[in-house]
Amino acid sequence: MDEKYRVLGMSDSPNVITGYANMARNLFVRLQDDERFDLSFLGLQFAGQPTEYMKLENGPLLKFRMLPAGSARFGEDMLPFYLQKYRPDACYILLDSFMVQWMLNLDWSPTKMIMHFPSDGFPIPAGSEALMKKFDYVVSMSKYAQNQLIDLGVDAAYIPAGVETNKFYPLREDEKIKIREKWSQALQIDLNGKFVIGCVGRMQGRKFYGELLKAVEKFVEDKNDVVLIIHADPNDPANPGFILPELIKLRKLEHLIRFTGNKYTLGFTEKEMNEIYNLFDVFALTSSGEGFGIPFIESMACEVPIITTDFTTVKEIITDNNAGIAVPIKNTITGTYNVERGIADLDKFTESLQYLYDNAIERKRLGKNGRTAVLRDYDWDKVVYPAWKKYLLEVLEK
């Protein structure tokens, strides 16, 4: 072909550390090596002049055009400008549907607009149905979200999030001993011989970190060999007001909880993240709903079993693959945009921690099941990227 396909993306900037940035970065760094594509990306946290190349200190070389955001939070001022300037054949949007409801009044023709849709509760956010029906193409990142859209009459495809299984993998037992010694010094707590509970996720309200502390507080009442490692930035701008370090002190848990030191703007290297996951005996999250759950599949890739709330995507990712324990919800709470969110039964959550504490063989079995599922369903290079490349070419060639 004489001309390249022009593709514009909009999401969290690929140079920051969020789930959306992870997904967008992994997709575009693969597309950039295909000569058929001319790529641009509107990163919502990116500022300054447009740049053609950006080498991430803890990541890959971004060879596509990075475009700065404006003053509007979700691209309302700059996306129309870039659509006119670059005339993309297709535009890929990866954001919550409530963030782009302003697009209902946008004329994006002749660009083909693709929405990569997450859902972390039910129903979909108020005001989103009309927008989903307006998009030229909708791709759900979970079967849960796909079924919601189909019920609304939206023809949605399904392509999941992915994980690089060559970068997230289980370490040998002798390697795990070494990294426990290393991170014992870094975190200033002895991890040797301890039952390590781990949690990875942004400091967002829907993660319900306070509920996790309640479950851990009850779980450790008769134990002195438990450590909770939290990989999150308490000062993340997404934090709605939780002062987690103070809450930890209030519950008298400061002797057994450590933050990894992660910063929202920097993050850890993939090697460091693989080490963090390999410190865990279990991954625990009391989230009220995940749009997908990238830390789930990263944990599974490292053969770490999961305990989490049985809501939204958990059935398809964890339960159906026998990769952990889905804790039943006790109730739901109505959140923003009238979305119902699931509240885990903390007694059951504590029982699940106790069960895996007592059963090392079961932890190993669930962990191996998790990696098997990830290799089959969520590997970036073998499953996810081939699906995206095929889908994009089909859209562009229509």
Is 369 found in the same domain as 387?
Answer: no
- 296-310, pLDDT tens digit by residue? 999 999 999 999 999
pLDDT of residue 135: 98
Is 238 found in the same domain as 107?
Answer: no
Question: In this structure, what are the phi and psi dihedrals at residue 58, rounded to the nearest 5 degrees?
Answer: -115, 40
Is 392 found in the same domain as 329?
Answer: no
* Average pLDDT of the segment spanning 107-117: 97
Q: Does some domain include residue 361?
A: yes
Q: Does some domain include residue 167?
A: no
Residues 207/285, Cβ–Cβ less than 8 Å: yes
Positive or negative CA dihedral for 389, 395, 396, 398?
Answer: positive
- 153-185, pLDDT tens digit by residue? 999 999 999 999 999 999 999 999 999 999 999
Is 252 found in the same domain as 128?
Answer: no
Q: CA–CA separation, 329 vs 331, rounded Å?
A: 6
Q: CA–CA separation, 64 vs 46, rounded Å?
A: 14
pLDDT of residue 104: 96
Does residue 204 have a pLDDT over 70? yes
Longest CA–CA separation in the chain, Å: 70
- 226-268, pLDDT tens digit by residue? 999 999 988 888 788 888 899 999 999 999 999 999 887 788 9
Q: Does some domain include residue 349?
A: yes
Is 276 found in the same domain as 241?
Answer: yes
Q: Does some domain include residue 69?
A: yes
Q: Does some domain include residue 71?
A: yes
Is 65 found in the same domain as 55?
Answer: yes
Beta pairing partners, 342: 332
Q: CA–CA separation, 152 vs 381, rounded Å?
A: 32
Does residue 128 have a pLDDT over 70? yes
Q: CA–CA separation, 370 vs 365, rounded Å?
A: 9
Number of domains within the chain = 2
Is 152 found in the same domain as 195?
Answer: no
**Per the structure block, which two tokens stand in for 264?**
């929202």
pLDDT of residue 240: 82
Range of the domain at 254: 173-377
The residues, any chain, with a CB within 8 Å of residue 352's CB and separated by 6 or more, are 307, 325, 327
Q: Does some domain include residue 310?
A: yes
* Average pLDDT of the segment spanning 329-349: 97
Is 114 found in the same domain as 37?
Answer: yes
Q: CA–CA separation, 231 vs 203, rounded Å?
A: 9
Does residue 190 have a pLDDT over 60? yes
Least confident of 46-60, 116-130, 151-165: 46-60
Is 158 found in the same domain as 96?
Answer: yes
Is 220 found in the same domain as 194?
Answer: yes
Is 150 found in the same domain as 33?
Answer: yes
**Per the structure block, which two tokens stand in for 313?**
């995507």
- 16-25, pLDDT tens digit by residue? 989 999 999 9
pLDDT of residue 168: 98
Which CATH number do you get for residue 365? 3.40.50.2000
Is 218 found in the same domain as 183?
Answer: yes
- 88 cis-preceded (ω within 30 degrees of 0): no
Q: Does some domain include residue 168?
A: no
